[in-house]
Amino acid sequence: MKRKYSIAHLSAIKIPPQDMVYMAAAAGYDYVSIRPVLLGTPGEPNYAVDLNPEMYKEFDIAMAETGMELSDIELFRLTDEVNIEKWLPAFEFAQKYNCHHLITSCWTQKKDYAKEMLAKLCETAKPYGITCNFEFVTWSAVPTLTEAKEFITSTGADNIGLLVDTLHFDRSHETLAELDTCPRDWFNFIHLCDGPAPRPEMTDKEALIHTGRDARLYVGEGCVDIAGIVKRLPEETVLSIELPHNKRVETYGALEHYKQCLNQAKAYFAERGIQ
C-alpha cells in the first residue's frame, strides 16, 4: 500500500495554519498536522482556534481548495494544573475535519496526577472520535518508551495510542525489540526526522532541546535507524514529518523545506524497499 505523509506544524512553526495547508499541498503531502492550542512558550505564535476566528476562516478555504486532510492536532500537555475544558474548541475543530488524533505528553513530576488527567483526557476526547496519542520526549517528565507504556496502560482507555518520534526514540537509547512489545493498534502515526551523531547523553537537556526544536536533520542524513523503526509499525501508520531546522527554513523558505523533508524521506525509504 502507498504510505501516507503528513507535515507537522513544528517543522516551520512560524507559518500560519492556512498558509501551511497550501504549502503542504504544493509539496505533495496527504495531510497536515497543526497546533490549534496555545502552549504559552516564549515566542510561540498564537494559532489557538478559539482566539483566531478570521485565521480559521482562511484555513477553511485553504482546506476546501486543496482537498488536504487533517491528520492530528497538538499539543495537549499534562502539566501541574490541567484544564481540559479549555481544549474543547480544539476537539470540536478536529471533529469538524474528521481528524481522529491528538498528541499529549507529560511535563510534570506529579505522575499520579498526570495519569489521572490522561485518563480524563481520553474520556473527554472520546465523544469527538479522538484518540489520544501519548508521546515520550527525552527532556520531558516521561522520557522513555518504557515509562510511556506504563502511562498508556494505566488509563484503561480504548482511545489511546503511542506516538514514537524517531529522534526521541534514538536519543533515549531504546531497542527496536521494545517496539514489538507494544500492541499494534497503539500506532496511528509516527514523527519522522533524523539526528546527528554523536548522541548526547540523556542528562544533557540543553543539547537534546537544541536538536529537537531547532536542528533536526532530513531523513537519511543522520545516525537514526529510521527504517528499522518504521518496519516494525503497521503499514497504515501515517508518516508525519516533524523536522524543525531554523537555519534551513530561513535559508530556503518553508515551502522548499517541506519539499526536501518529503522528497528525502521518500528516497530514503525507496532505497530500503519501503514504499
Q: Where are the domains of the chain?
A: 5-271
Q: What's the pLDDT band for 168 if we cut at 50, 70, 90?
A: very high
Taking the C-alpha atoms of residue 218 and residue 209, their distance in angstroms, rounded to an integer, is 17
Name residue 233's amino acid.
L
Task: Classify the C-alpha dihedral 89-131-265-75 as positive or negative.
Answer: positive
Residue/partner pairs of 200-204 with CB below 8 Å, 24 or more apart: 200/171, 202/138, 202/143, 202/171, 202/172, 202/173
Taking the C-alpha atoms of residue 153 and residue 27, their distance in angstroms, rounded to an integer, is 38
Model confidence pLDDT, tens digit, residues 198-225:
998 888 999 999 999 999 999 999 999 9
Mean pLDDT, residues 184-194: 98
Q: What's the pLDDT band for 1 if we cut at 50, 70, 90?
A: low
Q: Would you say residue 196 has pLDDT above 70? A: yes
Task: Give the predicted TM-score (pTM) of the model.
Answer: 0.96
Q: Would you say residue 175 has pLDDT above 90? A: yes
CB atoms inside a 10 Å sphere around CB 222: 19
Per the prediction, the chain carries an average pLDDT of 96
Taking the C-alpha atoms of residue 145 and residue 128, their distance in angstroms, rounded to an integer, is 27
Model confidence pLDDT, tens digit, residues 17-53:
999 999 999 999 999 999 999 998 888 999 999 999 9
5-271 classified as CATH 3.40.50.300: no
